[in-house]
């Protein structure tokens, strides 16, 4: 009987101790998840400047949707015109006023494909202009690396190299979508990231681009925060 009482007392103490720790752990986890949720509720604003490689399938909207499922609030705006380079947008003047509004956390620029020396120089020289105005207005600059048409596949390495050089030259974020596309094509032997014209992205291609851009942009925004 004495042994039974001791065992009962020991068991009761164990249950009480476990209960206390369980309540404590539950409280801590609830606090962590709540705090993380609060952080992710901050809204980030992204401005996309480019051409039809961005506007096809409404890439900014795909990014906004993916961000929501990851617990982030992202608002996007898109300034795109067919066959426009970043120099064309700059000369038009609309983008400077948007950036000066101080509304945007990240400005994402794209032209394409820019495999030749002229395209590389525009990426570098006008990227410098964009970067300067972004810094003045507390925004980050990002390059959306695109891809060549399937017909001009042999220029792929030059497209990748030119975007990489421009991003390094201007200390900007690089979203290496084109590099990922090339790796996928060569490893899978599938070209389903291309749409029907073998240049603009399919829905699958835009989904992949959105994921890469979102991951790279959020990584730098978290560092800034």
Helix/strand/coil (H, E, C) string of 32-61?
HHHHHHHHHCCEEEEEEEECHHHHHHHHHH
Q: String of b and e for 122-148 (b: at least 16 CB within 10 Å)? A: bbbebbeebbebbeebebbbbbbbbbb
3-state secondary structure of 222: helix
Return the domain boundaries, the chain: 1-41, 43-224
Q: Are 175 and 210 a contacting pair, CB within 8 Å?
A: no
Which residues lie below 8 Å from residue 190, measured CB to CB, with a gap of 6+? Answer: 184
Per-residue model confidence (pLDDT) at position 222: 84
- pLDDT of 31 higher than 70: no
With pLDDT > 90 as the criterion, what percentage of the chain qualifies?
79
Report the distance separating Cα 71 and Cα 66, nearest Å: 9
**What would the mean pLDDT of 71-79 be, rounded to a whole number?**
97
Per-residue model confidence (pLDDT) at position 223: 80
Instruction: Assign domain 43-224 to its CATH architecture.
Output: 3-Layer(aba) Sandwich (3.40)
How many separate helices (H) and strands (E) can be counted in the chain? 9, 5
Rg (CA), the chain: 25
Please tell me which residue, 13 or 154, carries the higher pLDDT value: 154
Per-residue model confidence (pLDDT) at position 24: 43
The size of the chain, in residues, is: 225
* Residues pairing with 79 in the sheet: 49
- pLDDT category at 42 given cuts 50, 70, 90 is confident
- pLDDT of 34 higher than 90: no
Q: In what order do the strands lie in the sheet with 73-80?
A: 73-80, 43-50, 106-109, 140-144, 173-175
Least confident of 15-24, 98-107, 178-187: 15-24
Please tell me which residue, 35 or 182, carries the higher pLDDT value: 182
Instruction: Note the pTM of the prediction, 2 decimals.
Output: 0.82
């Amino acid at each position: 009987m004495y042994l039974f009482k001791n065992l009962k007392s020991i068991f009761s103490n164990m249950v009480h101790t476990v209960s206390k720790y369980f309540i404590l752990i539950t409280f801590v986890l609830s606090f962590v998840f709540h705090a993380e949720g609060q952080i992710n509720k901050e809204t980030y604003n992204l401005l996309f400047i480019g051409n039809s490689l961005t506007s096809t399938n409404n890439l900014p909207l795909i990014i906004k949707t993916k961000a929501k499922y990851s617990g982030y609030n992202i608002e996007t705006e898109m300034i795109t015109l067919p066959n426009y380079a970043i120099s064309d947008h700059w000369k038009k003047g609309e983008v400077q006023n948007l950036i000066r509004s101080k509304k945007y956390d990240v400005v994402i620029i794209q032209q394409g494909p820019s495999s030749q020396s002229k395209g590389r120089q525009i990426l570098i020289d006008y990227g410098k202009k964009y970067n300067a105005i972004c810094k003045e207005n507390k925004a980050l600059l990002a390059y959306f690396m695109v891809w060549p048409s399937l017909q001009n596949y042999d220029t792929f390495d030059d497209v990748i190299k030119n975007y990489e050089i421009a991003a390094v030259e201007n200390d900007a974020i690089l979203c290496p979508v084109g590099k990922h596309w090339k790796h996928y094509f060569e490893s899978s032997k599938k070209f389903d990231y291309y749409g029907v014209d073998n240049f603009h992205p399919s829905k699958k291609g835009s989904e992949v681009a959105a994921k890469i851009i979102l991951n790279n942009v959020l990584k730098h925004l978290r560092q800034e925060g």
